[in-house]
């Protein structure tokens, strides 16, 4: 069962010192909120539709992963998802939106919907950054933290790649003749991002051809398809704001109290495994680190459903009864 909510969050102060203004945020609860609640956070392109919702004809971006939790201790949970905040076209020269600002939004959703302390917050990619910020800023608001393909800060190389993407988009703002032309610049920027998201081995295997130029033509078609699909759904302004949000991400993880599982992907070019190892040493709470071997690079968080669920099963099996009981006894406000 999927229940969609549209709630108004009163203006709050952003990390930048600016005011957010009142925000209407869309979120979904999958299952009964009487059960332990798990917040699920994905990449910048993720929506509130993490699971399939047939009543509104929506496909879930993490359906392959979440559909397998029926065999784990997460099977008896309610999942919460929400749309990330951005100013989009509402402001000229909008302030930077930080992952900590997204964490504040999640906390306000938690309180406004009168949800109990989260049984877990599971975040991947950008959502992993938000999850780390949430666990650091509100250490008593969750019992378990799972962070996938994210760290407490981002590499300079990944920031450089995103800066090139934003420069492409800014060229579109300046020289785009019409809305479709500007979309083409967003598509090109997203195509560059896709090269970083995917693993080198996958590209070599998927686009192998003995014919000169054939592999290049195939990969160009592949990147163009995904770029155009993204551009159809994502505004130029929103892309710029959330991309910049990643580069400004920095969180002090030493205040995290939640039982923590960090998951890295060995072929991830954006989040080096040493970043995750170093972060794990800074977390004072119980912290486990696991690796996924995948040809898919950073996008393994979307595609390695079986490996992820094996890790979930092991992590949530430990003392799960005690965690569930404490969750039920805890009212909103902790």
pLDDT digits (tens, 9 = 90+) for 220-247: 999 999 999 999 988 888 999 999 999 9
Do residues 94 and 193 both lie within one domain? Answer: no
Q: Torsion angle, CA of 127/131/134/138, rounded to 10 degrees?
A: 160
Q: What tokens does 167 get?
A: 């420069």
Is residue 22 in some structural domain? yes
The pLDDT, as a whole number, for residue 33 is 85
Do residues 140 and 51 both lie within one domain? Answer: yes
pTM: 0.92
The pLDDT, as a whole number, for residue 323 is 40
266 contacts 25 by C-beta, under 8 angstroms: no
The pLDDT, as a whole number, for residue 330 is 38
Is residue 40 in some structural domain? yes
Q: Which helix (H) or strand (E) holds 184?
A: helix 179-197
The pLDDT, as a whole number, for residue 71 is 54
Do residues 305 and 191 both lie within one domain? Answer: no
pLDDT under 70: residue ranges of the chain = 70-73, 318-334
258 contacts 142 by C-beta, under 8 angstroms: yes
Do residues 66 and 14 both lie within one domain? Answer: yes
For 268, the domain range is 2-154+251-329
Cα 190 from Cα 237, distance rounded (Å): 13
Is residue 334 in some structural domain? no
Cα 32 from Cα 324, distance rounded (Å): 14
The pLDDT, as a whole number, for residue 85 is 94
The pLDDT, as a whole number, for residue 103 is 98
The pLDDT, as a whole number, for residue 73 is 64
**Residues acting as catalytic residues:** 125, 268, 298
Is residue 76 in some structural domain? yes
Location of structure tokens 């790649």: 161
Closest CA relative to residue 43, chosen from 222, 230, 210:
230
Do residues 86 and 193 both lie within one domain? Answer: no
260 contacts 145 by C-beta, under 8 angstroms: yes
Q: Torsion angle, CA of 236/238/243/244, rounded to 10 degrees?
A: 110
**CATH number of domain containing 226:** 1.10.1740.110
Count up the domains in the chain and report the number. 2
The pLDDT, as a whole number, for residue 81 is 96
The pLDDT, as a whole number, for residue 179 is 83
């Amino acid at each position: 069962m999927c229940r969609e909510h549209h709630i108004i969050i009163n203006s709050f102060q952003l990390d930048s010192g600016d005011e957010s203004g009142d925000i209407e945020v869309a979120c979904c609860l999958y299952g009964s909120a009487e059960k332990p609640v798990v917040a699920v956070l994905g990449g910048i392109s993720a929506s509130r539709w993490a699971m399939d919702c047939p009543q509104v004809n929506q496909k879930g971006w993490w359906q392959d992963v979440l559909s397998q939790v029926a065999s784990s201790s997460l099977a008896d949970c309610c999942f919460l998802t929400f749309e990330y905040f951005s100013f989009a076209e509402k402001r000229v020269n909008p302030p930077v939106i930080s992952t900590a600002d997204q964490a504040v939004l999640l906390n306000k959703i938690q309180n406004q919907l009168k949800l109990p302390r989260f049984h877990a917050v599971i975040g991947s990619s950008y959502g992993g950054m938000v999850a780390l910020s949430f666990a650091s800023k509100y250490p008593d608001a969750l019992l378990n933290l799972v962070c996938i393909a994210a760290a407490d800060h981002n590499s300079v190389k990944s920031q450089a790649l995103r800066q090139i993407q934003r420069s492409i988009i800014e060229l579109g703002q300046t020289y785009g003749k019409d809305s479709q032309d500007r979309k083409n610049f967003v598509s090109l920027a997203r195509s560059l991002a896709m090269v970083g998201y995917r693993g080198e081995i996958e590209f070599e295997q998927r686009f192998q051809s003995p014919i000169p130029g054939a592999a290049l033509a195939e990969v160009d078609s592949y990147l163009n398809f995904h770029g155009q699909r993204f551009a159809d759904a994502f505004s130029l302004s929103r892309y710029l704001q959330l991309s910049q949000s990643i580069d400004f991400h920095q969180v002090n993880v030493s205040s995290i109290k939640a039982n923590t599982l960090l998951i890295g992907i060995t072929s991830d070019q954006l989040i080096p495994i040493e970043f995750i190892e170093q972060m794990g040493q800074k977390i004072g709470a119980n912290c486990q680190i696991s690796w996924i071997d995948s040809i898919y690079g950073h996008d393994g968080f979307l595609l390695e459903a079986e490996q992820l669920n094996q890790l979930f099963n092991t992590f949530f099996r430990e003392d799960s009864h005690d965690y569930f009981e404490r969750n039920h006894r805890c009212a909103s406000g902790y």
